[in-house]
Amino acid sequence: MSAQFLQFLLAGLTVGAIYALVALGFSIIYNASQVINFAQGEFVMIGGMCTVWLANAGWPLPAAIAAAVLVAAAVGLALEKLAVEPARGASVVTLIIITIGASILLRGLATIVWDKNIHPLKAFSGEAPIQLGGATLLPQSLWVLGVTVVIVLLLSWFFGRTLLGKALLATSHNRLAAQLVGINVRHVLLASFGLSAALGAVAGILVAPITFTAWDVGVMLGLKGFAAAILGGMGSGPGAVLGGLVLGIVEAMGAGYVSSAYKDAIAFVIILAVLFFLPSGLLGRRSSDRV
Amino acid sequence: MLEAKALASHYGRIPALKGIDLAVREGELVALVGANGAGKTTLLRALSGVQPVSAGCVLFDGEDITRASPHWRVRRGIVQVPEGRQVFGPLSVEDNLLLGGYTRKRAEGARGLERVYAMFPMLRDKRREAAGTLSGGQQQMLAMGRALMAQPRLLLLDEPSMGLAPRLVEEVFETVHALKSAGTTIFLVDQNARAALAIADRAYVLETGTIVHAGTGAELLASKQVQAAYLGL
Ligand SMILES: Nc1ncnc2c1ncn2[C@@H]1O[C@H](COP(=O)(O)OP(=O)(O)OP(=O)(O)O)[C@@H](O)[C@H]1O
Ligand SMILES: [Mg+2]
């Protein structure tokens, strides 16, 4: 493996992990409600911006991070309560449009509460690059990868081992049967918005020291996360992770070996290609097994 | 125990239930028979709170529960085995059962699991398999077991014998009978009118959203009109 290839691979994995976290947020809400939440990127923005803001106000970084995740989760809950829940019974397309409206509103609010500037965030544990087989790795990349691994493990424990997690899965599979066993499906919807928002915020905080943050970072990161979720198969957890990593690596290789001018276009080409040739994605459930 | 008074429900503007009056008393097995599209499923769903009610009311232990949420009703002991079984296909058999006990305490869930496995040993053998891979009859047992996990006081059964081979139909009816003997109150909907009427204490006949006959199971079995319409005599 050439050092250059390794360098691109590490860069791809880092950004891919971020996409994976955003994609997981898309999938969790999609499972609970069949809604593609286009405000998912704004949770990413809120996480980063809120952390920067609190850190600049003198909060210790860990406290700022925890508070920012909670703020984003609260915004997620509010989005469900104030915008999605009142439209209960509306078509999925209507709900998707509501989330687009919410994303515009949240960006607007961010420019009012904060500003329109680009903000750096201090790396969690220094900037000294780590040498690795001829390539260099920033400590922040290790944070991104490590935290993503921990979150993926926690999520698979939650959905695979806890009754609450299984109740969420059951509701996404068969809402009527879930109601009939006594699951409060409105709480499930609320919980999935809160959880997705928290995941998005974590992604936004982890990536802020690498790419900086601003009121509008959610647009592109949201779209990349969406592309990753589509690629992996909307609604599939492992698919979201795989889709994120593949998208990140393809982007990094494309930028490195071809031209960085095409970096963002790759995500859109992937969205179109998947929709044309593989509508249920790499790991999505084929429509046939949802009889 | 359960009472419906002038209960009505619509799909859009099309009425599906047009003022249903019925009662199920503690310990009874009450059957509801009727042709395809009569509104049987709609009625059970309204009783479980997953189908909007446009007029009338539902009383449980004398309390008006017409507006109560589905999960609240399950907690109170109104539990349904829905038409078409509706198991959680990708989840394991055991997870399906544990979710059946979602409204109960964890310890009760463990005990319930033992009871259900004792009743349907096949479910224990298949407990790690995805529910969607079971045969129709096995899924029906699972759906029943899942409902029992919620410790029903009133069990609503929607076509538990639908699409099953005759031997399995018999097994389902035996199970229903055993549950009744064990003290569970049962409201049973079945296409198999003869078998349903035979084990029922009382029964109602539903036709296009209206109750047209009521009586003991034996009376309806003997009724000329019911025989002509539902028993193919
Ligand atoms: N989701 C729905 N939307 C519109 N109309 C419906 C819907 N579900 C049922 N109906 C109509 O309501 C009426 C009652 O249906 P329901 O399913 O309650 O009948 P049923 O007695 O359970 O029939 P079956 O024996 O086929 O199960 C039927 O005319 C049916 O076409
Ligand atoms: Mg029916």
- pLDDT, one tens digit per residue, over B159-209 is 999 889 889 899 899 999 999 999 999 999 988 888 899 999 999 999 999
pLDDT of residue A144: 97
Q: Tell me: the pLDDT tens digits for B18-66?
A: 999 999 999 999 999 998 999 999 999 999 999 999 999 999 999 999 9
Subunit contact B71:A182, Cβ cutoff 8 A: yes
Q: Is B168 on the interface with A (CB under 8 A)?
A: no
Question: B101 and B188 share a domain?
Answer: no
> What does DSSP assign to residue A129?
P
Helix (H) or strand (E) run with residue A215 in it: none
Contacts of residue A224, Cβ cutoff 8 Å, sequence gap at least 6: A19, A22, A247, A267
**Residue B3, in any domain of the structure:** no
Quote the ipTM score: 0.94
Subunit contact B132:A174, Cβ cutoff 8 A: no
Count of residues for chain B?
233
The predicted model gives A218-224 an average pLDDT of 95
Atom of ligand 1 nearest to the CA of B209: 14
**Residue B62, in any domain of the structure:** no
Residues A20 and A12 sit within 8 Å (Cβ to Cβ): no
pLDDT of residue A77: 97
Residue of chain B whose Cα is closest to the Cα of A161? B95
In which band, very low, low, confident or very high, does the pLDDT at A290 lie, cut at 50, 70 and 90?
very low
**Residue B82, in any domain of the structure:** no
Structure tokens at B2: 């359960």
- Total domain count for chain B? 2
Contacts of residue B112, Cβ cutoff 8 Å, sequence gap at least 6: B97, B100, B101, B104, B148, B149, B151
Question: B140 and B160 share a domain?
Answer: no
Please tell me the distance from the alpha carbon of residue B131 to that of residue B44, in angstroms, as a whole number: 24
pLDDT of residue A34: 87
Question: B117 and B218 share a domain?
Answer: no
User: Last residue of a domain, which of B150, B165, B192?
Assistant: B150
Question: B173 and B123 share a domain?
Answer: no
Question: B72 and B162 share a domain?
Answer: yes
Burial of A253 (0-12, 13-18, 19+ CB in 10 A): middle
Question: B106 and B215 share a domain?
Answer: no
CATH assignment of the domain containing B183: 3.40.50.300
The predicted model gives A34-50 an average pLDDT of 96
pLDDT of residue A289: 38
Please tell me the distance from the alpha carbon of residue B104 to that of residue B108, in angstroms, as a whole number: 6
**pLDDT of B128 strictly over 60:** yes
Burial of A259 (0-12, 13-18, 19+ CB in 10 A): exposed
> Beta partners for A130?
A137
**Residue B9, in any domain of the structure:** no
**Residue B110, in any domain of the structure:** yes
* Domain boundaries, position B102: 87-150
pLDDT of residue B126: 97
Question: B115 and B212 share a domain?
Answer: no
Exposure string for B121-147, b = 16+ CB within 10 A, e = fewer = ebbeebeeebbeebeebbbbbbbbbbb
**Residue B11, in any domain of the structure:** no
Question: B115 and B47 share a domain?
Answer: no
Please tell me the distance from the alpha carbon of residue B24 to that of residue B169, in angstroms, as a whole number: 24
Q: Is B27 on the interface with A (CB under 8 A)?
A: no
What domains are defined for chain A?
Answer: 3-126+139-277 (1.10.3470)
User: Last residue of a domain, which of B150, B172, B195?
Assistant: B150
Beta pairing class for B154-158 and B78-81: parallel
Question: B189 and B229 share a domain?
Answer: yes
Determine whether the shortest distance from the Cβ of B41 to ligand 1 is under 6 A: yes
* CA-CA-CA-CA dihedral for B33, B37, B38, B43, to nearest 10: 90
**Residue B164, in any domain of the structure:** yes
Question: B180 and B206 share a domain?
Answer: yes
- The least confident of A107-111, A275-279, B86-90, B131-135 is A275-279
Please tell me the distance from the alpha carbon of residue B178 to that of residue A233, in angstroms, as a whole number: 45
In which band, very low, low, confident or very high, does the pLDDT at A2 lie, cut at 50, 70 and 90?
confident
Please tell me the distance from the alpha carbon of residue A179 to that of residue B102, in angstroms, as a whole number: 11
**Residue B16, in any domain of the structure:** no
pLDDT of residue B233: 60
Q: Is B52 on the interface with A (CB under 8 A)?
A: no
Looking at residue B179, its amino acid is L
Measured at the CA of A191, the angle between CA A76 and CA B42, to 5 degrees, comes to: 120
The predicted model gives A204-225 an average pLDDT of 96
Q: Tell me: the pLDDT tens digits for A54-111?
A: 999 999 999 999 999 999 999 999 999 999 999 888 888 999 999 999 999 999 999 9
Q: Which residue do the tokens 């393809």 mark?
A: A250
Question: B114 and B197 share a domain?
Answer: no
Q: Is B146 on the interface with A (CB under 8 A)?
A: yes
**pLDDT of A285 strictly over 80:** no
DSSP alpha helices (H): ranges in A117-236? 139-161, 163-173, 175-180, 185-211, 217-232
The residue among B11, B76, B86, B139 with the most chain A CBs within 10 A of its CB, best to mutate, is B86
pLDDT of residue A33: 86
Phi, psi of B14 (to 5 degrees): -90, 120
Q: What residues in A contact B146, CB-CB < 8 Å?
A: 181
Q: Tell me: the pLDDT tens digits for A116-132?
A: 999 999 999 988 999 98
- pTM of the full predicted structure? 0.89
Q: What is the mean pLDDT of chain B?
A: 94
Question: B95 and B145 share a domain?
Answer: yes
**pLDDT of A114 strictly over 50:** yes
In which band, very low, low, confident or very high, does the pLDDT at A270 lie, cut at 50, 70 and 90?
confident
In which band, very low, low, confident or very high, does the pLDDT at B232 lie, cut at 50, 70 and 90?
low
The predicted model gives A252-278 an average pLDDT of 87
Determine whether the shortest distance from the Cβ of B34 to ligand 1 is under 6 A: yes
